[in-house]
Structures are given as C-alpha cells and as structure tokens.
Amino acid sequence: MFVRTQSHGSRTYLLIVDNKRVDGKVMQRVLFRLGRLDQLLARGQLDSLIQSLGRFSEKLSVLGAHAQGDSIATRSARIGPALLFERLWQACSIGKVLTTLLADRRFEFSVERAIFLTVLHRLFAPGSDRAAEKWKDDYEIEGVADLELHHLYRAMAWLGEVLAEDQQDGATPFSPRTNKDLIEEELFARRRDLFSDLDIVFFDTTSIYFEGQGGETIGQHGHSKDHRPDLKQMVVGMVLDRNGNPVCSELWPGNTADVKSLVPIVERLRNRFGIGSVAIVADRGMISAETLAEIERRKWSYILGVRMRSSTEAKAVVAHAGRYAEVHAKSDKRNDPSPLKVKEVWVEDARRYVVCVNEDQAAKDRHDREAVVAALRNALRQGDKSLAGNKGYRKYLRAAGKQFAVDEDKIEEEARYDGKWVLTTNMDLPPAEVALRYKQLWMVEDVFRSMKSLLDTRPIYHKCDETIRGHVFCSFLALLLRKKLEDRLARKEWKLEWADVIRDLGNIVEMEVAINGKGYVFRGQTPGVAGKVFQACGVALPPTLRVC
C-alpha cells in the first residue's frame, strides 16, 4: 500500500493505492481518493493526516518528537571503528591468540581489551597511550570503559616481556624472545593452514627515534634514517610474505648496522616458523660482501639489490652491452603497471645479475638532474659563496684551481644510471620474474611509511625496553588489520583512500535519547565510503532506531 498522484489537466489528486496481481500482471487498485493535492496542502490536512498515522508507528513518533525538541540526549558515541575492526580482529584470530597466551596469568583487567584499544587508537588517532585512554571516552568499544592508563602500560609491558631462558632458542644476538614473538608465531601458524608457506620473504629495516632515555638497552646512537643523530634510536625490521602480509617485526638497538641483521633475522625466521627453504628479497642497504658470502655459504636463495655506484663490478654490469626484454610496455593508463625492461648479465659465469630499467623513472631522473645542473651553472656565475648550504650541488662540482666548476664527467656517469637498478640472485627464476619479485619489496617500504606517518609510532616516550617493544608491536598489529581490510576491499575491486576510510568510519555516531521516560538509540547516517567498507567486511550496521 502506498500513496501516488494522478493528474487531470492542471489539477493533481492524491490517491491511496495498492498493487494486485491479475492474470500474471501487476495492476494498481485505487483504495481511496484523498482529494486535490493543492487543497490538502493549503488547509494543512495532509500534515494532520501524517501526524495522525504517525501515532501508530513508534519509529515515526520518536523521530518526530526528537525533531521537535521533545527528547533529552543522554549519551552519544562513535561506533564505526570498533564495530568494523572488532570483526577483523577476530577474523585474524588475534583475540583468540591473546586469550590463550594469557590463560595462566592473573591480571585484574582484560589485557586483550587493552591491546585492542591501543591498536584501534593507533589506526584512527595515532598518539601515546595517555592519549588513547582519553580517546576511548568518545567511542563505543566493548570492554574498555574501566581501563585506565596504568592498565595500558602493563599491557604493553606484557607484550614485550622477555621469555624464560628455556624459550630463548632462535633469539638473535641483538634482542631476546618475548611474548610478542609467541603471538606472531601463532598468528602465522593459523594463517599458514589457509595460505602458502613462507617460500619468499621480503625484509627491510628503518630507524625510530626516542624523545628521552630510549629504554635500558634498545635506545642507542647510530645512523639515523630520520636525520636525528642527536637522539637515541632503535632499529625496526619488518618481514612480509609474498602476498604483503606482515609476518613478524624485529627490534634491535639503534647502533645495529643493517648488514649485520640480515643473516640473524633469516636464521630466526627458519627457527621460529619451521621453514625448510626460504628466498630472501632485500634492499641494497642490507648487503655487504661479507653478508653475501655468508648467505651463499648457508646455501640460501636470494634476490638482493646492488649498490651500483660503489661497486666496480656493478658499474661494469650496467655498462654491459645487451638487449633489454620488455616486461611491461609504457602506457598512459593510470592503473597499468609501470614500464619495465630487463636484461640478464653474467660475470665470469659465476654471478648472475639482472639490470632493470623504468623509462618513466629514467625521464624523471634526467629532468631532475638537468634542473640541478642548470641551477648550479647559474650559481657559479654568481660566485662560490652562492654554493654554500646546497647539498644537491656537491655531486656535480669539481675543484678548478681556486674556483669550482661543473664536473661534466660526473654528469655523464650519472646519466648511465637513469631509471636503472641492478639485482643479483642465485635463483633460477626468469629475469622478468626476478625484477617483479624485487619490486614487491616496495610493499615493505609502504609498510614503514604507514608505521611512521599514518600510525605515528614515533617519537616514543616509554622508558622501559618491555613497554617500548609492546608499543611498536601494536603498530604491527594495526598494520595486520589494515592489510586484512585492504584485501577485502580488493576482492570487491574497490580502491578507497585510507584517509577517507578512517574519517568516514569515525563519523558514524549513535545517540541515546529519552522521550516520555522511555529510552531510544538513534544511529546517524553512514557517511562517504563507510557503507562500502562495512559491506566488504560483511558487518551489519545497527538499525537506525532501537529501544534501549
């Protein structure tokens, strides 16, 4: 039954009709003619009719009373974040793993809920644990209402708590095994039953600095990738599988060189996850002659980036004659992969290299260099003092007596490397496959950008090693949830901006009101992309109105 209009000449009439099936066809039947629409509106009869009918619909009555200001709001909360990520938290089995490991511990609060709160806060409003305690007051999150700041600190300390001596098998020389390692291993074991083994892993590191003491042992002065050599730091390593899923994170003191961490981390992976054979994909910063020799001695498979400018052999490889094979053609379509060409080079029939070229990157490198050199030539005409403070000029300068001049040979040498990178491998994969595998390593770089910018793990103010480990591990869990959500969106072929997802989920609000002594809960509209996110994850939104 519904209302429709019917026009006769210049006049419009309002009818109550219903649908009836006659001889297999749907026919409309007029139940009642309400009259001319203009007259009903002019006399206010239509409003009176709707108001009268509304008495028989509790939902319309409540909404009407609320619109007229006859309700009293008693509580409001944002429900989107917890509603959505609680489902993903359980889908990843994080809650079950934590509950199992905590079964023999007697905390007077829920450590699992404290960790969930910290992870959720890290996703939506990155900041300290102190900020998380206050942030939760505006959100509807099951089981966190009574949590206080010291509970969050104790939960972080439990994550980073060092295991007993008999559980230290496989620890690296730089860090002990802790509870967070047990969690990573169990999460991987559960996922391993559904997905593939760790036959290929991607590994990279970054540094994260401290404001303050930097723990008892973790915070040390070292080469800072954040350009803060004045502050203590730690090194964070991340391992991803071939599908981009975070497998584990590792923490070392800030004075640990990248090249010293590769072999121990792979050995630890083999011990922790029961891997028979593994292929390592790592960046050029991870490799040294000593590291490579040790990897080959252990007969591990690898695809490693090569420092082109500092290696005589790599320079010869770049200059080696040979035809490139096209992997991806240049395309103007936005979603097409970047152009890629590869060629295979063997040195003394002993070491295999793959030279890769991206034409788009080559054009950018050439344009950037020409801009720097043009500015340098102009600066030289103004005198040597104009060169002060510009690090970009140094590469292309040479001393010419008492003055400086442009180093033309250096410009020509740099042009050879435009858009190129060199890989070395002992695997039997085709050159194109080697290049594509290495390009997947950039997933790790994206993870670190997420960890540092979106999740804002730095700076860290914790003073104890245990709480520092827990603090960083919560970022790892947040990345795990984000990857789970992105996978579900990808199955729907929906490409949504992460900032839009976080904003719109955070703007779903419920408000509790009292009308005539009875309580009701209103759910606000579903803004932006939030509806698609809930649909992709199979999570149902609460009704617009319900009695509480």
pLDDT confidence of residue 459: 54
* Domain residue limits at 405: 361-415
Domain end, chosen from 52, 69, 94, is at 52
The DSSP code sequence of 82-104 is HHHHHHHHHHTTHHHHHHHHTTT
Residue 6 lies inside a defined structural domain of this protein: yes
Q: From CA 213, how far away is CA 233, in angstroms rounded? A: 10
254 touches 233 (CB < 8 A): yes
pLDDT for 455? 42
> Which one has a higher pLDDT value, 323 or 291?
323
Q: What is the pLDDT of residue 545?
A: 76
Encode pLDDT of 12-41 as tens digits.
Answer: 988 888 888 888 888 888 888 888 888 888
Task: Report pTM.
Answer: 0.75
Rounded CA gap, 428 and 420, in Å? 22
Residue 283 is encoded by which pair of tokens? Answer: 């960046």
Residue range 248-268: mean pLDDT, rounded: 77
Q: Which of 69-78, 89-98, 191-200 has the lowest mean pLDDT?
A: 191-200
402 within some domain: yes
Where does the pLDDT of residue 194 fall: very low under 50, low under 70, confident under 90, or very high at 90 and above? low
pLDDT value of position 143:
93
Average pLDDT, the chain: 82
pLDDT of 525 above 90: no
pLDDT in the model for residue 72 = 55
Distance, first Cα to last Cα, the chain:
30
pLDDT of 463 over the 70 cut:
yes
In this predicted model, what pLDDT tens digit does every residue of 94-128 receive, in sequence order?
999 999 999 999 899 999 999 999 999 989 988 77
Tokens of 375: 């500015």
pLDDT at residue 56 in the model: 61
Whether 408 is in a domain gets the answer yes
Whether residue 130 is predicted with pLDDT greater than 80 in this model: the reply is: yes
pLDDT at 70: 55
Residue 520 in tokens: 């009701």
What percent of the chain is predicted at pLDDT more than 70?
85
Question: Within 10 Å of residue 244's Cβ, how many Cβ atoms?
Answer: 15
Does a structural domain hold residue 389?
yes
Lowest mean per-residue pLDDT among 17-31, 52-66, 192-206, 248-262: 52-66
Instruction: Give the Cα separation of 263 and 156 in Å (integer).
Output: 28
Lowest mean pLDDT across 73-87, 331-345, 507-521: 507-521
Does residue 373 sit within a domain? yes
Q: What are phi and psi of 38, to 5 degrees?
A: -65, -35
pLDDT of residue 197: 58
In a domain, 32, yes or no: yes
Question: Per the domain annotation, does 23 fall within a domain?
Answer: yes
Tokens 């180093």: give the residue: 407
Q: Residue 481 contacts by C-beta under 8 Å, 6 or more apart in sequence?
A: 85, 88, 89, 92, 119, 123
For 35-44, 144-153, 491-500, which range has the lowest pLDDT when averaged over its residues? 35-44
Q: What is the pLDDT of residues 381-405, one digit of tens each?
A: 777 666 656 677 778 888 777 778 8
State the pLDDT confidence band at 516, using cuts at 50, 70 and 90: low
Rounded-to-integer distance, Cα 109 and Cα 120, Å? 18
pLDDT at 498 over 80: yes
- Edge to edge, the sheet with strand 200-209 lists 246-253, 233-241, 200-209, 279-282, 301-305, 420-425, 351-357, 340-347, 325-328
With tokens 């003619």, the residue in question is 33
Average pLDDT in the 34-54 region? 79
What sign does the dihedral 414-416-421-422 (CA atoms) show? negative
- In percent, the amount of the chain with pLDDT more than 90 equals 30
pLDDT of 147 reads 94
| Residue 173: cis peptide before it, omega within 30 degrees of 0 | no
The answer to whether residue 126 sits within a structural domain is no
Q: DSSP 3-state assignment of 156?
A: helix
Rounded to whole angstroms, the Cα distance separating 257 from 226 reads 15
Q: H-type helices in 334-385, by residue range?
A: 359-381
| DSSP collapsed to 3 states, 486-537 | HHHHHHCCCCCCHHHHHHHHHCCEEEEEEECCEEEEEECCCCCCHHHHHHHH
Count of domains observed in the chain: 2
For the chain, the 3-state helix, strand and coil shares in percent, each to the nearest 5, are: 45, 25, 30
**Which of 379, 394, 415 lies at the terminal end of a domain, its last residue?**
415
